[in-house]
Structure 1
Amino acid sequence: MILFAFCKQEVHSQAGFSHEIGVITGPVAFYSDYGIRGNNETNTGNVGFGFGIIHYLNFSYRADCNCYTRDKFFNDHFKVRNELDYHKTNLQHYGPLVADDETSVFSDQLRAVTASTRVIEIGSQLEYFPLSIRDFASMQYRLAPFISFGVHYVNFDPEAESSLAPGGDINSPVATGDKYRNAYQQEGGSTWSVVGSIGVRYKLNDYADIMLDSRWTYYFSDWVDGLNPGLEQNGILPVPENKANDWIYWLNIGYIHYLD
């Protein structure tokens, strides 16, 4: 596991420093127990927005001497990315069961639910650049693709309510059928996640890059969205379609500044 790391180094005003900071933002598609797997309406409807603060350790350059490090493969092709992220997604049920022509009690219960989840993540990723980081820093080329993998600690805070129940009580018998009995959780919690991404940097100048990052995050919990239907919860019916924990796809754009 890669832990948050901060080097105690003097920073000088020259291009190619050991520390980089930036911000990222973009839409988050939340794949959860709301809606139906593979349903286009679900995939486009349960979309939120996120932003983050990022910090890089750049091993190709030493800040204490304003010089390149020894020419090693790791130094010229890897960076450590540390970040703090926040995203929120409004959630609801989609699919054939909530179509306008469905008039069953169960369909009415699904349509009446509105929910959301707020997620804070902190962690690190090891980022690999196939092309030389030194050559990119010296602007020998403008584009630098990368892939990364890491681990995040996650805190989540879900909410859900039903317009059918007094006070919006989502766990009221009026609001949930047998399948979703005891499946909604209002309390926040924490878990871990694995993060993988593929992206590209574009060099604006000696001191700044912009970045496009396509990221997948898989949570080690099925409660991040506040909904986890199953036989263990309802004690009556198995829910075979609930096959995986929650996960997200985040397409973000970022600005990265090389510190002076």
Structure 2
Amino acid sequence: MLQTAHSQLGFSHELGVIAGPVQFRSDFGSRNEGETNFGNSGIGIGLIHYINFSYRADCNCYTTDTYFNDHFKLRNEISWNKTKLNHLGQWVGPENVTPDADRLRAQSGVAKNLDIGTQIEFFPLSIRDFQGFAYSFAPFVSLGVHYTYSTPEASTTYGDGDIFNENNIYSFWYRDDTRLPPLPSGQQRQYPIDVTPHSSWSMVASVGVRYKLTKLSDLMLDLRWQYYFDDWVDGLNHELSFNKNNDWLVWLNFGYIYYLD
């Protein structure tokens, strides 16, 4: 009985590295514009660790054949991404020669995020069969939660070059306007730029596939969507109606995974 329980609870480990391009969707530019979305792109890198429930490292044997053991893995990750940000699209085109357009063109930022988190990955096909070379590709989906530590940057070349001088930023971000939610009488609107390091939580969902390279190694392709639970990750949080959503990103990463024997 004890041996059976031990067989069910055993697991093994996998280590890997990931890297790839990131599209960061923030309050820079307009979210629905392709020029903004593709122009504000960066890079992400990371280290990943898997708990594989289908195989026991202590005895080099398979665990009890249950649906959970054969179709789920636990993924732990530490990763970092960086994206240079600019205002692109219709509001800063050459046809716009207003002072506000000049302010937008002069402003830039950097989103830098350190992530630590866990995801549960589901493999529709058998993990055991994949490890035994029954097929070369193993698709998966995953869902998890990450803790994010952000250290954004912001700068401008407009006016005296001080990004915290309200005369140097887009005027409608800081003054009352019909596109901004009304404030209670006597209350001042929050300044829309804050580059103080801060922490937040995010939800991560991804879809991907593994390719069996050798008995103890896989290649991986993973497309991630990550939604942050606040709007200060990029250091910019204005309240105009067309950019009121929280920050989020899309990350296409390529990985190499090694099975610890």
TM-score, normalisation: structure 1: 0.88
2:145 partner SS? strand
> Unpaired runs of 5+ in structure 2?
1-10, 175-190
Q: Deviations over 1:16-58 (max 9, x none)?
A: x710000000000000000112111001100000100000000
- Residue type of the alignment partner of 2:169: T
From 73, 89, 94, the counterpart of 2:83: 89
Equivalent in the alignment of 1:9? none
Change (3 A) 1:241 1:223: same
Asked if residue 134 in structure 1 is aligned to residue 89 in structure 2, the reply is: no
Tell me, yes or no, if structure 1 residue 117 matches structure 2 residue 111. Answer: yes
1:180 aligns with 2:141: no
Q: TM-score, normalised by structure 2?
A: 0.88
Ranges of 4+ aligned residues in structure 1 off by more than 6 Å:
none
Matches within 5 A, 1:1-260: 18-166=12-160, 168-181=161-174, 182-230=191-239, 239-260=240-261
Give, as a single letter, the amino acid of the residue that structure 1 aligns with 2:207.
I
Deviations 1:98-130 (A, max 9, x none): 001210010000000011011000000000000
Identity of aligned residues (%): 54
Structure 2 CA distance for aligned equivalents of residues 97 and 244 of structure 1? 19
> Which whole-Å deviations, capped at 9, do the CAs of 1:204-252 have from their partners, x for residues lacking one?
010100000000000001000111112xxxxxxxx21123100000000
Partner-residue secondary structure (3-state), 1:65: coil
User: Quick check: 1:24–1:51 contact (8 Å CA) kept in 2?
Assistant: yes
CA distance in 1, matches of 2:80, 2:167: 34
Distance between the aligned counterparts of 1:71 and 1:244, measured in 2?
44
Gaps of 5+ in 1: 1-16, 231-238
d(CA) in 2 for partners of 1:177, 1:140? 59
How far, CA to CA, are the matches of 1:40 and 1:97 in structure 2?
A: 13
Aligned-pair CA distance for 1:165 = 3.5
CA distance in structure 2 between the partners assigned to 1:76 and 1:154 by the alignment:
31
- Once residues 65 and 28 of structure 1 are traced to their aligned partners in structure 2, the CA distance between those partners, rounded to angstroms, is 40
Distance 2:95 2:60 in 1: 69
- Shift in Å at residue 96 of structure 1? 1.1
Tell me how far apart the structure 1 counterparts of residues 171 and 69 of structure 2 sit (CA, whole Å). Answer: 57
2:212 corresponds to which letter in structure 1? K
1:142 CA displacement: 0.4
